[in-house]
Amino acid sequence: MPPLGPIKRRDLVRYLKELGFSGPFSGGKHQFMVQGNRTLWVPNPHRGEIGIGLLTRVLRQAGIEKRDWEKL
């Protein structure tokens, strides 16, 4: 995985799939990904990259530690 920092949405989805999440699926205003009983809302596509603050919140919701993200 890349170091914790700005990332493209496409890359975030790809990395989450590598970590066992399936999707993204349509659901209301945002798409979501699923891993077992865990549901993870994925940021909507936009022009720029996903910033470190939003990425940190997504990883926290996914139950992924910073060291685990950077290790893989």
Q: Given this model, what pLDDT does residue 57 score?
A: 93
Counting beta carbons within 10 angstroms of the beta carbon of residue 26, is it exposed (0 to 12), middle (13 to 18) or buried (19 or more)?
Answer: exposed
> What pLDDT score was predicted for residue 60?
93
Task: Identify which has the larger pLDDT, 71 or 59.
Answer: 59
Range of the domain at 44: 9-71
Q: φ, ψ for residue 13 (rounded to 5)?
A: -60, -40
How high is the pLDDT of residue 49? 92
Within a domain: 56: yes
Looking at residue 56, its pLDDT comes to 92
Residue 15 maps to which CATH number? 3.30.920.30
Parallel, antiparallel, or unpaired: how do β-strands 22-25 and 31-35 relate? antiparallel
Which backbone phi and psi does 46 adopt, to 5 degrees? Answer: -150, 175
> Does some domain include residue 1?
no
In a domain? residue 4: no
Chain segment 3-57, per-residue pLDDT in tens? 788 999 999 999 999 999 999 999 888 899 999 999 999 998 878 899 999 999 9
Domain count, the chain: 1
| Rounded Cα gap, residues 16 and 1, in angstroms | 10
